[in-house]
Structure 1
Amino acid sequence: MLKKAFFHIISWALLLVTVGVLIGFIILYHLNKDLPDHSTLKNYSPPVLSRVFSSDGRLIGEHAQEKRIFVPYEYIPPKIIHAFLAAEDQNFFYHKGIDVLSIFRAAMTNVMSNGKRPGGASTITQQVARNFFLTNELSLVRKLKEVILAIRIEQVLSKERIIEIYLNQIFLGNRSYGVAAAALRYFNKSLEDLTVPEIAFLAGLPKAPSTYNPKRNPQAAMNRRNWVLERLWKTGLIEEGEFRAFTKHPIELLQRDETENVRADYFQETVRKELIDVFGEDAFYGGGLFIKTSLDTRLQTICNEVFPNALLDLDKKHGWRGAIRNIADVEKDPNNIKHWMEYLHAVNVGCIPEGWRLALVTNLESTKTTLITEEGVGVISMDTMKWAGAPLKNGVPGASIKSPDQALNIGDLIFVSKIKDNQYALQQIPKISGGMVVMDPHTGRVLALTGGFSFQQSQFNRATQAMRQSGSSIKPFVYLTAFERGVKPTDTYVDEPISIHLGQGLGTWTPKNFMNEFKGAMTVRRALETSNNMVTIKLAQKVGMKNVAKVIKKMGIIDKPPIQLALVLGSGETTVYKMTTAFAIIANGGKKITPTVVDWVQDKEGKMLYKHDDRKVDFLRASSWDGKTIPTISDTRTQIVDPAHAYMITSILQGAVENSPAKTAFVPGQILAGKSGTSNDSKDVWYIGYSANLVVGIYLGYDVPQGLGKMATGGWLAAPIFKTFMEKALENEPAIPFQVPSNAKLYRVNKHTGQATLPNDPDAMWEIAWQKDRIFETEEPSETSNESSDKVDSIPADRSGSEPTEQHASHPGIL
C-alpha cells in the first residue's frame, strides 16, 4: 500500500515536472520568438552630439536630440566605473547577466514594502537590455525577456564592452546622455577632472534623474550622493575618513564659463540650417560632427555690442510705446516690497533681454521714478528717461518729456537696465530691427552675423531671410554695367528732370533726386559719389536694362531681376547677406566668391566630410627645397568682373566715404569705401562698406515695413553703425590702400570736368583708365607724358592730383 502510494506521488511529481518543463519551453519559445536581435549591440554606435566651434576653436554651440559625448572604455577613469558599479551592480564582473542573490534580496524587500512600487534588482547588463530593446513596463513577461536578453548579451559581449555601452547610453538628466555629457552639463569638467563627491553624485542619478536633480530636490540629491559615497566606503574604494569628509561637501553645479562660449545665436542658426540641408537631421543631431565655422569671435563680440545698442538708440528716437502692463494693486500697497519682489520672480513676460530686469513702478516724483526689482528698491533718474515721449507720428517723434508721470503710471510693469547700485535706466524692446553681416571679401567667409535685436525674442534672421528693397545700394552695379560697356568715370552727364513714358495706359514716371535738386553737368564719378538718380537712370538707358539685370544677377543680388528702370533706383528686393557678398566681389577685384559660415566638417572619427576652401597647395620636397621658394596656393576663384572696373567702383565709393560732409562712415586713419541705400518712404535703410580685407553690410527696418521717419536715410541711420563697428574692428590696425590692378592706370584729371590735366591744376585729382590688351584708352596731355608713365600702386587717401594734403570737393548729400 505504501509502495503504491509512493509510486503515485513519484508519478504525479514527474508529470508535474514534465508539464512544468513543457510549459517553460513553450514560454521560452514564445518569448524567444518576440525577442529582438541582441547581436546588434556588437556594432553599437550611439547618437552623439555635434559641436560647433569658432575659427579660433571656441565652442559656440552643441546640437543633439540626446546630448551625448562617446568615450571608449579605456578612456573612462576607473574611479567612475567603480562608483557606478557600487551604486548599480557591485557583482557586475562576477555574474553572467543576472545576480540571483540580488534578486532574492530585492524580492524580500518588496514583500516588506506594503504595496509600494516594487524595487528592482536589475544588473547593469539587464539595464542595457531594457534600455536598448524593451520598455519600462512593469510586468513579469518584460522581466523574463530582460533576463533572457541579459544572459545572451553576456555571451556575445565582454564585460568591458557592456560597461562602455552603459556609461555612454545611460540618461542622467538635463538632456544629458552618458557620463561625459553629464560631467560637462553639471560640473563643466572632463571625466578625469571630476572629484569623488561629483562622481558619486553622477553615479546616483540613473535610478531617478529627475528626483535627484539638485536644483529641484537638493536634499534628496544630497542623500542619494551620500548613499553612493557610503557604498564606496563599504566596498573599500575610499577610506572612512574620506567618506566622512566627502559627505560634508555641497553639490556645487558649475555652468560653462562665459569666456568659453561666444553668443552667436543667429550665426549658429545659419550653420544649423546649412548643414541640415547638406547632411540631414539625423547626421547633424546624432552624428557627432565636429564643425569648424568661419566665426571670428572678436568681430562677433563687437557686432553683439554695436548692433543691438544702435537699434535701442534708434528706437528711443521714435518715442515710448508704453509699459508691458499695469498692476493696479501696486498703488494700493506700494510698500509691500517682499510681495512685489516675489511677484516679479514669478510673472511671465516671455524672454527678458540679457542684462535687463523687470520692475514695478511704485512712486513718481518730478525728478525720479521709484521702482521695485527682484533685487529690491531702485530709482530711474529723470535725466535718463527724457527720450520717453510720444511715439513717432507721421514720421515725426513726440517731444521729450519733462516729468516721469508723462510716460509712466504707478503699477506699470517695465523693463529696466542697471546703471550702478540702485540706479536704473528705462528700456523697451525695439520694434526697429535689421541684420548685419561681416565678411572676408577674398574667401566669402562670414566672420560675424546678427539677424536682429535678440534671437530669444525672434528667431527670424533678418540678415539672411528679410527680403527688402535695396534703395541706392544697388547703384554701384548699374555703374559697373556702364563701365563694362565703355563708359568712363570722367564722362559727363546732365543732372536734370526726367519724364519717362511707361507705355500705353501706364502713364509717365517722373523720378526725383532725394532733395529734389538738380546740379547740371557732372561726371559719372561725381554722380555715383552723390548717389544721383537722374544720371543713374540715363546710364541704365544708355547700356540697356537687360544688361543691368544680367550684372545684378551675375553678382548674386537678385535671382530674377525685373527689367524695369525702377530697379536701378532700388525697387528690387534682396537680403543684406546677398548684398554684402556682391560688394565683397567688388572689394576683392572681381573674383566670384561663395559666402559660407562653415570652414570644414569632420565626423566623430575625424574623417573630413566637407571643406569650403578647396584650393590646392603646390608642396615642395624638403630634400630639393632651396630655402627661398615659397609654396604656392592655386586661386580657383572665377574672375566675373574685370579688375579695373571693380577698382573704378571702389575708388568712387572711397570718395563717397571721404567727401561726405557729415562723415557718417568715415574713420580717421583708415581707407574705406561704401554705399548707402534708402527705399521708398524710408521703410528700409542700408549701408554696405568695406576696407581692403573686411566687408560689412547693414540693413535696418521694421518687420512689417513702415517709415523710419522723415529724412531717414541709410547715410544717417546705417552708416554710423558701420563707422562704429569699423572703429573697433580696425583699432590699432594700419590703413591698407585698395590696390590698383595691373590693367588699370591712374592719370590726372580736373575733378569738375573730368578732362586730363597738368599737375599744377589746383583741381587736379587721380582718375582711373582701363587698359585693354595693355593699351590705355585714355592718355594725359603730352606735356606730362613722362610723368604719366609712372607706376602708381594705390590711390592716395585724398586722390589729389597735386599734393596729398589737398581735399576732394565736398558732397551735397549722403544718401
Structure 2
Amino acid sequence: MKFLKYIFSFFSLICILIFIYITYLFSSLDTKDYIFKEYNPPLTTQIFDKNLKLIANIFEQHRFYAKYEEFPPRLIEALVAIEDTSFFEHNGVNIDAIFRALIKIIKSGGKTMEGASTLTQQFIKNTELTPERTISRKIREALLAYKMETILSKEEILERYLNFIFFGHGYYGVKTAALGYFHKNLNELSLKEIAILVGLPKAPSSYDPTKHLDLSISRANNVIQRLYTLGWISKNEYEEALNEIPKVYDDTLTQNAAPYVVDEVIKQLNPSIRDLKTGGYKIILNIDLDVQEMAQKSLKWGYDEIVKRDKNANLDTLNGAMVVANHQNGEVLALVGGVDYEKSNYNRATQSMRQPGSSFKPFVYQVAINLGYSPMSEVADISRIFEGGAGNNEDWKPKNYSKDFSGLITLKKALSASRNLATINLALNIGLDVVYSKLTQMGFKNLPPNLSIVLGSFGISPLEYSKFYTMFGNYGKIKDLQIIKSIQDKNGNIIAEFEPKEQKISDEAQAFLVLDMMKNVVEQGTGRNARVEGIEIAGKTGTTNKSIDAWFCGVTPEIEAIIWYGNDNNYPMKKTEGGARTAAPVFKEFMIQYLEKFPNTTRKFSIPNDVKKGIYQKNIEYYTPKSPFPSQNTKFNESEIIF
C-alpha cells in the first residue's frame, strides 16, 4: 500500500508539473501571431483573353480559394472519415486518440509512433510550427489547436484547412486540385474523385494520380471503405465508387498559351501591383487567343519559308515578330515575340529595336499630304550625291532598290514602287527641318536629324511601330495600343481599366489619301504578295540595307498587322530576302485564316465626306479641297544634282 501511495504521489506531482508547464505555455501564446487571426494565403492570379479564355496562371503557390459553401457535403464526410472521425465532437485535441496512441507506443516499446493529430492540429502543424518531433512542440500544437477552436468555428477551420493543404503536382487547396486533376469544379466531382483528393494530403507525392494512379486508387478505395464502414454511404454507392477509374489530366500549372504576351503583361504590371503573383487577381486582356494562334502559325510559316530558301540561314539568330491590333479601339489582338518561345524567350515584339526601312515612308508622305501635296503631285526620282553625307568625308549616294531612275513621278507611284530617291527629293522639297518637326510631333523618338530618317534609319519595336500605324486605319488619329483591358481583385471588384488615348495628326480626308496610296502599294506595288481576294488591304513593305530587316505593315478596314524578320545579331539575311518576298506573304497567310474565322469583318474602307473623285491623266483618282489635283503641264529635264 505504501508503495502504491508513493507511485500515486509521484504521478500526481508529475501531473501538477505538466499542468503548470501547460498553463505557462498557454498563457504565453499570442494569438495575433498565428494564422487563425486572419487567413490570406497566396492565391493564383489568372490572365484571360478578351473572350475570357484562360491564357495563363501566374503564382508563387498555385491556389484557388473556395468558400466553405462551395464544399460538397460528401467532400467533408470523406475528409473527416479518413483523417478525424470525431472532428465535430472534440475541442481541437482528441484525448481518447492520444491515449490510444500512447498505449500503442508503450506496447511496441517505442517502435510504433502514432500521431493522433486532429485536423485542427494538422493545420496548426503545417502553418505555424516547425517540423521537429519534440514533446514541447507537440504540446504547443495541442494548445494552439485548442485555442483555435475557441476562436474559429468548425466550418472556418475546415475552410482554411482545405484551402491550405498541399495536394501534390503543385496544387495547393482542394479547389485547385479538382480543377487540375479532373478539370471539374468541386460540385461536379464524383465520390471516387473526392476520395482521391482527400487521400492525397497524407503523402502527396506518393499518391499523385498523374504519376502513381494505382497507389492513388488504392488510397481512395481505403477512403471509400471507411465511409461504408461508418455507414455514411450505401452499398450501391460503395460498389460504384470502387469500380470507377476517373480520367486524370496531367496539365502544366501555368497553362501558358501565350508566353510572350504573359511576359509583357507581368512587365507592365509589376511596378504597380506588388502582389501580382499572390493576390488572386483576374486580368482581362484585349488579346484574342484565336488571333494569337493565327499570328504564331503565320510567323512560323514565314520563318520556315526563309529556311527553305536559304540552307545557310543561322537558325540560332534568325527570328521574327508579329503584332496584330484593332486600329479603331486600340486593342492588341495578338503579340508574338518570336517563332519559338522555348528556344528563346526574348520578346522581339516589345524589346527589339529595329530599323523600319521603307515601311516608314507613309509617314513622310502623310506630312506632305497634310501640307497640301496631292497624291498626283510629281516629285523627281533622280540621283543625288550628298558630299560628306556618309561621314568620314565620304559622299552619300542613295539609290533605289532597282538601281534605276523614273524621272518625274507622282507621289502615289513613288510610294507604290517604294522609290528611295523620290522620297528623299520630296523631303528636300518640303524642307528637312519641317519633315523632322512633323515626325517628332507625331511622337517618333530617336530620329536622326538628317535625310536618312525618310528611309527609316532609326530603331523602333514592332509594338511601338504598330501604335503609329493606327494613324492610317484610324483616319489621322494615332491610337495608343493596350494589351490589358481590366483588372479585378480576388473579390471580383474592378480595380483598374485601361482606355487608350489618341492623338490627332491629320484630318480624316487627308489621311484617307495616304491610305489609298498604300492600297495601291498592295494592288500594284511592292506589297502585291499580301493581296487577299475579297478584302481591301493597304500596306507598305520595308527592307533595310543588306536585307538586315524585312517588314510588312498591313492595314484592313478593321485591323492591322506588323510583321518583321531578321537576325537577332543584326547580320544580313540572304540578299533576296526583303519586305516584299519575306514579310508580305505572311500577312496574306494570316488574313486567309482571319477571314475564315471572322467572315463578317468589314472588307472595304469607308471614304470621308471631304474626299472627292476625279479624272486625272485618264485615271480615276481621289482629291480633297486641301490637296487638289496639280496642273498637268509640268515639264522636267532629268539631271544629276550635287548638293
TM-score by length of 2: 0.90
Shift of 1:563: 1.3
Q: How do 1:45-444 and structure 2 match up within 5 A?
A: 45-111=40-106, 118-254=113-249, 263-280=257-274, 282=275, 284-319=276-311, 391=312, 432-444=318-330
Q: Are 1:654 and 2:526 an aligned pair?
A: no
Shift of 1:588: 0.5
On the 8 A contact 2:374/2:628 being kept in 1, the answer is: no
Q: Which amino acid aligns with 1:542?
A: N
Determine the C-alpha separation between the residues in 2 that align with 1:262 and 1:777. Answer: 53
On the 8 A contact 2:417/2:526 being kept in 1, the answer is: no
Shift of 1:560: 2.5
Partner residue in 1 for 2:640: none
Q: Which amino acid aligns with 2:257?
A: R
Matched residue SS, 2:534:
coil
Q: Which amino acid aligns with 2:282?
A: F
Matched residue SS, 2:504:
coil
Determine the C-alpha separation between the residues in 1 that align with 2:107 and 2:547. Answer: 79
On the 8 A contact 1:476/1:649 being kept in 2, the answer is: yes
On the 8 A contact 1:591/1:639 being kept in 2, the answer is: yes
Q: Are 1:664 and 2:535 an aligned pair?
A: no
On the 8 A contact 1:747/1:779 being kept in 2, the answer is: no
On the 8 A contact 1:687/1:718 being kept in 2, the answer is: yes
Determine the C-alpha separation between the residues in 2 that align with 1:501 and 1:69. Answer: 68
Matched residue SS, 1:87:
helix
Determine the C-alpha separation between the residues in 2 that align with 1:484 and 1:113. Answer: 95
Shift of 1:780: 9.3
Q: Which amino acid aligns with 1:531?
A: S
Partner residue in 2 for 1:409: none
Q: Are 1:450 and 2:336 an aligned pair?
A: yes
Q: Which amino acid aligns with 1:745?
A: K
- Partner deviation per Cα, 1:503-529 (whole Å, 9 max, x = no partner): 795332111111211111111221111
| Bigger helix fraction | 2
Q: Which amino acid aligns with 1:442?
A: Q
Q: Are 1:534 and 2:389 an aligned pair?
A: no
Shift of 1:289: 1.4
Matched residue SS, 2:490:
coil
From the superposition, tell whether residues 278 and 646 of structure 1 become closer, same or farther in structure 2 (CA, over 3 Å): farther
From the superposition, tell whether residues 707 and 221 of structure 1 become closer, same or farther in structure 2 (CA, over 3 Å): same
Determine the C-alpha separation between the residues in 2 that align with 1:99 and 1:13. Answer: 25
Matched residue SS, 2:518:
helix
Partner residue in 2 for 1:699: 564
Matched residue SS, 1:304:
helix
Shift of 1:201: 0.6
Which among 749, 768, 789 is matched to residue 623 of structure 2? 768
Determine the C-alpha separation between the residues in 1 that align with 2:510 and 2:407. Answer: 26
**Identity, % of aligned positions:** 33
From the superposition, tell whether residues 27 and 100 of structure 1 become closer, same or farther in structure 2 (CA, over 3 Å): closer
Matched residue SS, 2:363:
helix
From the superposition, tell whether residues 210 and 530 of structure 1 become closer, same or farther in structure 2 (CA, over 3 Å): same
Determine the C-alpha separation between the residues in 2 that align with 1:543 and 1:269. Answer: 43
Which among 584, 605, 608 is matched to residue 741 of structure 1? 608
Shift of 1:111: 4.6
Determine the C-alpha separation between the residues in 2 that align with 1:658 and 1:134. Answer: 73
Shift of 1:223: 2.2
Determine the C-alpha separation between the residues in 2 that align with 1:207 and 1:126. Answer: 14
Shift of 1:738: 2.1
Determine the C-alpha separation between the residues in 2 that align with 1:539 and 1:264. Answer: 43
On the 8 A contact 1:44/1:165 being kept in 2, the answer is: yes
Q: How do 1:424-573 and structure 2 match up within 5 A?
A: 432-502=318-388, 506-556=393-443, 558-573=444-459
Q: Are 1:603 and 2:489 an aligned pair?
A: yes
On the 8 A contact 1:444/1:596 being kept in 2, the answer is: yes
Q: Which amino acid aligns with 2:113?
A: P
Matched residue SS, 1:118:
coil
From the superposition, tell whether residues 9 and 243 of structure 1 become closer, same or farther in structure 2 (CA, over 3 Å): closer
On the 8 A contact 1:683/1:705 being kept in 2, the answer is: yes
From the superposition, tell whether residues 561 and 117 of structure 1 become closer, same or farther in structure 2 (CA, over 3 Å): farther
From the superposition, tell whether residues 191 and 640 of structure 1 become closer, same or farther in structure 2 (CA, over 3 Å): same
- Partner deviation per Cα, 1:270-310 (whole Å, 9 max, x = no partner): 22322323323x1x212221222112233223223322122
Partner residue in 2 for 1:425: none
Q: Which amino acid aligns with 2:531?
A: F
On the 8 A contact 2:195/2:223 being kept in 1, the answer is: yes
Determine the C-alpha separation between the residues in 1 that align with 2:572 and 2:112. Answer: 65
Shift of 1:38: 5.6
Matched residue SS, 1:767:
strand
On the 8 A contact 2:482/2:499 being kept in 1, the answer is: no
Deviates more, 1:491-500 or 1:32-41: 32-41
Matched residue SS, 2:237:
helix
From the superposition, tell whether residues 110 and 592 of structure 1 become closer, same or farther in structure 2 (CA, over 3 Å): farther
Matched residue SS, 1:442:
coil
Which among 643, 646, 651 is matched to residue 508 of structure 2? 643
Unaligned 5+ runs, structure 1: 320-390, 394-428, 615-635, 751-762, 782-815
- Partner deviation per Cα, 1:470-495 (whole Å, 9 max, x = no partner): 11111111122222333332221211
Shift of 1:708: 1.6
Determine the C-alpha separation between the residues in 1 that align with 2:461 and 2:280. Answer: 32
From the superposition, tell whether residues 17 and 275 of structure 1 become closer, same or farther in structure 2 (CA, over 3 Å): same
Shift of 1:733: 4.1
Q: Which amino acid aligns with 1:521?
A: L
Deviates more, 1:533-542 or 1:198-207: 533-542
Q: Which amino acid aligns with 2:121?
A: Q
From the superposition, tell whether residues 174 and 512 of structure 1 become closer, same or farther in structure 2 (CA, over 3 Å): same
Matched residue SS, 1:595:
coil
On the 8 A contact 1:673/1:689 being kept in 2, the answer is: yes
- Partner deviation per Cα, 1:176-221 (whole Å, 9 max, x = no partner): 1111110011111111111111100100111110121234333332
TM-score by length of 1: 0.72
Matched residue SS, 2:243:
coil
Determine the C-alpha separation between the residues in 2 that align with 1:686 and 1:510. Answer: 23
From the superposition, tell whether residues 548 and 107 of structure 1 become closer, same or farther in structure 2 (CA, over 3 Å): farther
Determine the C-alpha separation between the residues in 1 that align with 2:26 and 2:567. Answer: 64
From the superposition, tell whether residues 23 and 181 of structure 1 become closer, same or farther in structure 2 (CA, over 3 Å): closer
Shift of 1:445: 0.4
Kindly tell me the number of residue pairs found equivalent between the two proteins.
627
Shift of 1:112: 5.7
Matched residue SS, 1:592:
strand
On the 8 A contact 1:289/1:603 being kept in 2, the answer is: yes
Shift of 1:462: 1.5
On the 8 A contact 1:647/1:740 being kept in 2, the answer is: yes
